[in-house]
Copies of this chain bind each other. A is one copy, B any other.
Amino acid sequence: MSKRSVYFFGGEQTDGDASQKELLGGKGANLAEMARLGLPVPPGFTIATTVCSRFHEALHEADGAVPDDVLSEVDQNLALLERSMGLRLGDAQAPLFVSVRSGAAVSMPGMMDTVLNLGLTDKTLEGLAASSKSRRFALDAYRRLINMFGDVVMGLGHGRFEEALSAVKNKTGAREDTDLDEAGMEQVVARYKAIYESELGHPFPQDPRQQLTKAIEAVFRSWDTPRARRYREIEGITGLRGTAVNVQAMVFGNLGETSGTGVCFTRDPSTGENVFYGEYLVNAQGEDVVAGIRTPEHISRLEQDMPLVYKELIGIKDKLERHYRDMQDLEFTVQEGHLFMLQTRAGKRTAAAAVRTAMEMLAEGLIDEKEALQRVEPNQLDQLLHPTFDPAAARHVLATGLPASPGAVSGQIVFTADEAEEWAGRGVEVVLVRRETSPEDIGGMHAAKGILTTLGGMTSHAAVVARGMGKCCVAGCAAAQIDAKAKTLSFSRNELNEGDWISLDGSTGEVMLDRVPTRAPQLGEEFEQLMALADKYRRLGVRTNADNPKDAKNAREFGAEGIGLCRTEHMFFEEDRIAHVREMILAETEDTRRAALDKLLPSQREDFSGIFEAMDGLPVTIRLLDPPLHEFLPHETERRKELAESLGVSLEHVERRCRELEEFNPMLGHRGCRLAVTYPEIIEMQGRAIAEAACDAAEKGIAVRPEVMVPLVGLKAELDYCEQRLRAIMDTTFQSRGQKISYLVGTMIEVPRAALRAGDIAKTAEFFSFGTNDLTQMTFGFSRDDAGGFLVEYQEKHVLPEDPFQVLDRDGVGRLVELACQEGRAARPDLKLGICGEHGGEPKSVAFCHDAGLDYVSCSPFRVPIARLAAARAAIR
C-alpha cells in the first residue's frame, strides 16, 4: 500500500496522524489525530491531496474523473465505515449518511465546497425519519442535500431553491424555516426535486454511491476555481498539491433542543486572553454558524443548556491545547446530548492574540522560546503597529457591531466587492459594506480599508477572512440596514449613501460617522517581551530608512539600531530649499552653481544635525543626491514662468534647460553618482554639510557615526571619483574644526554591474548597501512605474509566483546579492553589508538577507519590529 490514497480514521482503525497535513490536509490529519487521542470523532476516511493533483491532470487530458484505483480504495474504506457504524449507505432501514468536505494543508476558509447529509434518497429518507423519530427533520435534511448538491456539485446556485422555500413559507404562513411543519417540508422537498430535474434534465440521483462520487469530484474541482486561486494568490499560498476530501459519518446538530453545533477557541482569538471563547447555536447544523445566517450565542449558553456536554468540551479543549501546544479552533456538534468533535486546528488569531498567546504559553512552559518566536508571523505585527482612534477626538457612534478584526480605519462606503476594487484602484479609501460576505467578495475585501457586515458572528466568513488579512472588520452590526439597490446604509437616525465616509473600530465594534482622527499604536508588554526575545536570537542588525529626525526617533523607539538609508533628495524638495535647488540646476557655470549650492549648505547641515542628534551613538547612512535633476523642475508653464521671474532669467531659458534635462528612461538616466561626475560641486556641498553637522553634534557631546553612501555606482572609477572628493572636503572640515570623527564611505549596490564588479568596488567601498528596488528593476528589466499592469497578469498566468518588488527574487536578484557579498568580502574582509531596499522589511526577504550573510537590514520605521522578528526566525530556522 505504498501508493495508498485513502486513509481511515475513528472507530476501529486510524491510519493517519497530525503530521500528515500535506497528504491529508489539515482537517483530515487533525481528525485522525483526535481519533488517536480517543476523542469522540465520527468515523470516516480521507482521500489524500495527491489524488487532487491526479484529478486535475486527468481533467486536462480527458473529461476528468477520480481514478479507478482510488475509487476502489474508497469502496474498501466505505465498507469499513459501514461496518464501524453498523449502517449502510442507501440502506432503507439503517442508512448511513456522510458529509463530504474539503481540507487542504493550509486552511482556506469557505473557499472550497462541502456537501452534507449525503446518502439521503427517497428510500433512505424513511430510515432517517425512523431513526431520528422525526419525519420533518428527515425531510429538512433531504431538502438541504438537494439544495447543496444542486448548488455545489451541479452548479445550479441557490436562487431558485430559495425562491421555492420562500413560496412555501408564504403559502403556509411560516415566518422562519423552523416554522415549517412536516407537510410544509414535504412540499419543499417536492419543489426542490422538480427544480433539480427541470434545470438539469434528469432527476436528483437516487443512488447514494453516485452522489458520493459526484461530491468527491466537486470538492476536487473546487480547488481550482478562480476564487480559490485568487485566495491563494492574496494569501501567498503556494506549493500545495491540492485539497484532500474528508468523507465522514454525519452527526446532526439539528435534532432538537438537545442538539446543537458550535465553533470555539481555546483562548480568545482577538485578544489572546486565556479564556474559553466560542459560539454555539442550538438545534443547528455547522454551516449555519459559519455562513452567518443565524447569529450564534456565546458558548456559556451551552453550559446552561447542557452542563455535562459543556464539561466534556472543556476537558477536550484543554487536552487538545496541551496536545498541540497551541491555541485551537474547534468545531463540534451535539447530537441528542452526545458531543462529537468535527475539527481542530490552530486558531487564526489577531496579531495581538498571537503575541499574547505566544508569550503566555512560553510563561506557562507549554512552548520554548524558539517556538514562541515561530508563533507570530512577522507580517502580522503590522496590525499591532496600526494606529488607533484618538480617544480625545469627537466621535459620533452610529451603532456597535461585533469587534471581528481589529484596526481603526475610515473610508467611503461601497456596497459591492467589485466597486471596492474599482474605487480602490483609483486610490479611493473604501469601506466595504455587506449583509454578509462570501468567497466571491475576497478581492473587494482585500481592496477595502475595512469591512462592515450586518449579519454573521465572530466566526462568519467576513470575520475569519478579515482577521487573516489583518483587515479591520466589524461584523453582525444588526442595527444597520442595507438597501443594496438604493445604495443606502441606514441607522436609526442616519441614512448614508454610497461614497459617504464612515470609521470602523475593529477592536470595539463601533461604527462611526465621518472620519475620526487616529493616533499612534500603543504596544503592550507582551510585544516588548517578544521583541526582546527576537533580539536575543537574531544575528542581523535592523536599521531604518528615515529622512528626518521625527522618523528617526520613531524608528529608534521601534528598536532601530541606526539609519540604513537617509535620502537627501527629500530635503531638497522642502518649500524653503527647492528655490535654491532650481537655481542650482539652471546655473550655466560652475561658479553660479556653486553659489546656489552655498545657499543650500546651511539647511542641509541642519537636516543632518537633527538626524545625528536623534541617532546619538548609532550609525547614520546618508545617501548623496540620487534623482535626475529634472525631477526638481516644475512641469507647468505657469510655474516655469514664476521660476524664471524669481531667478531673473527668461522663460525660454528655463524651458530650454527643462528640455535638455528631459529623459526617455529616467530610471536609467543621468542620476546618482553620474550627477556627481558631471557636477562634483553638489556632493562636495553635501560632504561639507555632513562634516560640519557632525562637528556641531560632536561639540555638543553627541556620538556621531556618519556613513556616506554614493548611489548608482556601476564602476569602481565612479566611486573613486566621488570618494576622493568627499574625503578631501570632509577631512579638511574635520581638521579645521579640530574634530576627529571617523566615518565610512561606501556605496549602494543597485546596478547589476556593481554586483558583478563587487570585488573591485570593495577596494574603495567600506560598506555596501543593496538597493534592491533598483537592482530588481534592472535585473528583471522591469520599470516599477510601468510594470504594475503586466505583473498582475504574470501572477495570474503563473509566470511569476510573487511580485519581485515585494518579495526579493532569490534566484535572480538574490544571486547577484550573494555574489557581491562573497566577492566584496573576499576583497575587504570587514566590508559592512546591508540592504536598504523595501525588501528590508519583508520577512521572506529578511530571511534571505540572513542566509546571504548581510550585517543588517534597513526598513521603514513601522516595519522595524517586523524585521526584528523575521531576523530572529531566520536565525532559528
B residues near A663, Cβ cutoff 8 Å: 783, 785-786
CA–CA, A848 and B674, complex, Å: 27
Q: Is A86 part of the contact surface with B, judged by Cβ < 8 Å?
A: no
Which residue in chain B gives the minimum CB-CB distance to A774?
A: B781
Quick one: given A665-B666, A668-B665, are A715 and B752 in contact (CB under 8 Å)?
Answer: no
CB distance from A17 to the nearest CB of B (A): 36
Q: Does A712 lie within 8 Å of B665, measured CB to CB?
A: no
Contact of A812 with B717 in the complex, beta carbons under 8 Å: no
Q: A665-B666, A666-B664, A790-B674 are in contact. Are A753 and B780 (CB under 8 A)?
A: yes
Q: Give chain B nearest CB distance to A780 CB in angstroms.
A: 5
Point out the residue from B667, B780, B811 that lies within 8 Å of A665, measured CB to CB.
B667
Residues facing B in A669-721 (CB within 8 A) are 669-670, 674, 677-678, 712, 714-715, 717-718, 721
Stretch of A423-431, A529-537, A795-803 at the chain-chain interface: A795-803
Contacts of A798 in B (CB 8 A): 717
Q: Contacts of A667 on B, CB cut-off 8 Å?
A: 664-665, 667-668, 781, 783
A793 within 8 A of B: yes
Q: Which residues of A, 633-682, contact B by the 8 Å Cβ criterion?
A: 663-670, 674, 677-678
- A570-583 CB mask vs B (1 if < 8 Å, else 0) is 00000000000000
Interface string of A790-824 (1 = CB under 8 A from B): 10011001111000000001011101100000000
In the complex, which of the residues B712, B774, B780, B789 contacts A714, with contact meaning CB atoms closer than 8 Å?
B780
Binary interface encoding of chain A residues 747-764 relative to chain B, with 1 for a CB under 8 A from any of its CBs, else 0: 000111100110010000
Residue in B669, B778, B781 whose CB lies within 8 Å of A786: B669
Q: How far is the CA of A757 from the CA of B814 in the complex (A)?
A: 11
> Is A782 part of the binding interface, using a Cβ–Cβ cutoff of 8 Å?
yes
Selected from B668, B811, B816, the residue in CB contact (under 8 A) with A781 is: B668
Shortest Cβ distance from A720 into B: residue: B799
Tell me, rounded to whole Å, the shortest Cβ–Cβ distance linking A718 to chain B.
Answer: 6
| Cβ–Cβ contact A668 & B757, under 8 A | no
Q: Would A668 and B718 be within 8 Å (CB), given that A677-B794, A813-B753 are in contact?
A: no
Q: How far is the CB of A754 from chain B (nearest CB, A)?
A: 9
On whether A678 and B790 interact (CB within 8 A), knowing A664-B666, A781-B752, A812-B756, the answer reads yes
Q: Return chain B residues, CB-CB under 8 Å to A816.
A: 752, 756
Instruction: Assess A665 versus B783: contact at CB under 8 Å? Given A670-B789, A753-B812, A756-B816.
Output: yes
Report the interface size class on chain A. Answer: 35 or more
Asked if A779 CB lies within 8 Å of chain B CBs, one says yes
Residues in B with CB closer than 8 Å to A780 are 714, 751, 753
A259: Cβ under 8 A from any B Cβ: no
* Contact status B665-A786, CB under 8 Å: yes
Residues of B within 8 A of A677 (CB): 790, 793-794, 797, 799
A777 at interface by CB-CB < 8 Å: yes
Task: Please tell me if the beta carbons of A786 and B714 are within 8 angstroms of each other in the complex.
Answer: no
Q: Note all chain B residues with C-beta closer than 8 A to A715.
A: 799-800
Taking CB atoms, residues of chain B closer than 8 Å to A774 are: 781
**Is A785 in contact with B665, judged by CB distance below 8 angstroms?**
yes
Give the distance in Å from the alpha carbon of A851 to the alpha carbon of B714 in the complex.
Answer: 24
Minimum Cβ distance to chain B for residue A23 (Å): 27
List of B residues within 8 angstroms of A756 by Cβ: 779, 811-812, 815-816
Given the known interface contacts A717-B800, A793-B677, A800-B715, the answer about A783 and B669 at a Cβ–Cβ threshold of 8 Å is yes
Chain B residue numbers with a CB within 8 Å of A790 are 670, 674, 677-678
Name the contact of A668 in the complex, choosing from B717, B782, B799, B815 (C-beta under 8 A).
B782
Please state if A793 and B678 are interface contacts (CB–CB under 8 Å). yes
A673's closest neighbor in chain B, by CB?
B799
Looking at the complex, which one of B753, B778, B786, B815 makes contact with A670 (CB distance below 8 Å)? B786
Residues of B within 8 A of A750 (CB): 781
The residues of B that contact A815 with a CB separation of less than 8 Å are 756
Contacts of A753 in B (CB 8 A): 779-781, 809, 812-813
A-B contact pairs, 8 of them (CB 8 A): A663-B786, A664-B783, A668-B781, A677-B794, A717-B799, A750-B781, A752-B781, A753-B812
- A663-B783, A670-B786 provided; 5 other pairs, C-beta below 8 A? A715-B799, A752-B778, A753-B813, A756-B779, A774-B781
Chain A interface residues toward B at CB < 8 A: 663-670, 674, 677-678, 712, 714-715, 717-718, 721, 750-753, 756-757, 760, 774, 777-783, 785-787, 789-790, 793-794, 797-800, 809, 811-813, 815-816
